[in-house]
Amino acid sequence: MKIVKSHLIAFTLILLSISGVSSCTEHYSTKINLNAEYMAFISNARTKSEIFAFRRLLVKNNLANLVDIKQLLRQGTDWKKIREPAYALPPRKFWPRILRTLTVLKKEIIPVLGEIEVLSGFRTTRYNRRAKGTRSSKHLVFAALDIKPKDKITRRELHKRLLEIWRTKGRRYQLGLGLYSGTRFHIDTARYRKW
Instruction: Please report the pLDDT score of residue 28 as a whole number.
Output: 39
Q: Does residue 7 or residue 26 have the better pLDDT?
A: 7
pLDDT one-digit tens code per residue, 51-73: 999 999 999 999 999 999 999 99
pLDDT of 21-52, one tens digit each?
Answer: 333 333 434 455 778 899 999 999 999 999 99
What confidence tens digit (pLDDT) does each residue in 76-87 have? 999 999 999 999
pLDDT band at 107 (very low <50, low <70, confident <90, very high): very high
| Rg value, the chain, Cα | 17
Confidence of residue 168 (pLDDT cuts 50, 70, 90): very high
- Report residue 17 CA to chain centroid gap: 23
Instruction: Residue 22: name the closest of 36, 32, 37 by CA.
Output: 32
Q: Are 47 and 89 in contact (CB under 8 A)?
A: yes
Neighbours of 127 (CB within 10 A): 22
Helix (H) or strand (E) holding 36: helix 25-41
Average confidence (pLDDT) over 158-162: 98
25 vs 153, which has greater pLDDT? 153
Nearest to 143 by CA among 88, 192, 186, 101: 101
pLDDT at 9 over 70: no
In order of 1, 55, 146, 182, the CA distances from 58 in angstroms are 35, 5, 19, 30
User: Which residue, 88, 17, 100, is CA-closest to 57?
Assistant: 100
How distant, in Å, are the alpha carbons of 9, 122, 148, 176 from that of 69? Answer: 21, 11, 16, 22
User: Looking at the predicted structure, is the pLDDT value of residue 93 above 60?
Assistant: yes
Q: How far apart are CA 42 and CA 122, in angstroms?
A: 16
Instruction: Specify the pLDDT at position 137.
Output: 97
Which among 171, 162, 168 has a CA at the least distance from the CA of 189?
A: 171
Backbone dihedral angles phi then psi of residue 178, each to the nearest 5 degrees: -115, 130
- pTM metric for this prediction: 0.81
Look over the chain and give the mean of its residue pLDDT values, rounded to a whole number. Answer: 88
Q: Quick one: pLDDT at residue 33? A: 72
Q: Which of 92, 6, 93, 94 is nearest to 47 (CA)?
A: 92
